[in-house]
Amino acid sequence: MDRVRRPREKQSLCQLMEMPEIRGSGRDGPGHASTIRGGGGNYLPVRRQFSAAVPGAIGGLNGYAMSIAAFIDPAALLGVVGTSFAVAWAQNGTSAALSGFSALRRELWLKVQEQADDGYRAVLRIEHMVESRGISCADRVKSGGAFVSAAADAMANHRSLDGFQAAIVRLAAQRRARLTAMVRFWENVADCAPAMGMLGTVIGLILLFGNVSDAASIGRAMAVALLTTLYGLVLANVIAGPIAQRLARIAGEQIHWEEDAARRLVDIGRREYADIAAAQKRKEEAEAQPPRPVEHI
């Protein structure tokens, strides 16, 4: 009777280790490193291969670490970065510098379209509030961002269209000045960084030619001369330049929608302030008329 051939079951790791191709044999014997049959039928000790590969890998990592460390000079890096920011600070002032640094936390990650949509929705709520409860209730709408909230407060606190328009113009000018100063600060950093790198290069060359007799100092001076130029280029073209370009784009979009929202608020104020002026005029005319004499019966 023929035996029914059963499908070959998966073998566990322990069963595989008992196979002659993997089990230790020959002079390795029991207790020695396991061997794996190579392409030519030879048994290769696994532990020996691993032990031989680890020092090479570690040596390669150490080589990479030493290569990276050759590009790091804390004193040169601090000199280029510090002087670049110091010059930009002196050119723009403390307020612009603080605005530039604060932009890294807020404006740099701002989603302008979402902010604009929120601002336009707030303008519609202000219009509904003014039409239903009067212009003095415009400041009850607190959403829409800092600009729309400030414009709503100005609308509620002024009693004439001219005063409200003047307040909107001042508010828009302040916002534009802040955003412009923020962008200009990072543009100046990007402009100063290559110059500060070249200044470090000149200093390194002076040190090089001043100590030609000392071989050790020549290498150090040459490293300073090259690394400062590298740091200046990286700071200008990889860090400060892209930040300035992104902030300029965000500032332009933000100014555009804020000016559009300001025009809509002025249109709302023009209608409402006209009604207030007409009501005030009627009241003054009524007060100016002489009282009617009381007829006695």
Distance CA 111, CA 154 (A): 26
> If we measure between CA atoms, which residue out of 140, 153, 133 comes closest to residue 265?
153
Domain ranges across the chain: 73-278
Mean pLDDT of the chain: 78
pLDDT, one tens digit per residue, over 175-228 is 999 999 999 999 999 999 999 999 999 988 888 887 777 777 787 788 888 999
Judged against a pLDDT cut of 90, whether residue 236 lies above it is answered with yes
**Helices and strands counted in the chain (H then E):** 9, 2
pLDDT band at 131 (very low <50, low <70, confident <90, very high): confident
Judged against a pLDDT cut of 60, whether residue 54 lies above it is answered with no
Amino acid (one-letter) located at 193: A
| pLDDT of the residue at 33 | 46
- pTM: predicted TM-score of the whole model, two decimal places: 0.68
**Cα 63 from chain centroid?**
34
Instruction: Tell me what the mean pLDDT of segment 105-119 comes to.
Output: 90
Q: Between these two residues, 182 and 58, which has the higher pLDDT value?
A: 182
Instruction: Tell me what the mean pLDDT of segment 117-140 comes to.
Output: 90
**Percentage of residues in the chain having pLDDT higher than 90:** 41
Distance CA 165, CA 157 (A): 12
pLDDT, one tens digit per residue, over 3-44 is 445 545 444 444 544 444 444 444 444 444 444 444 444 444
Judged against a pLDDT cut of 50, whether residue 60 lies above it is answered with yes
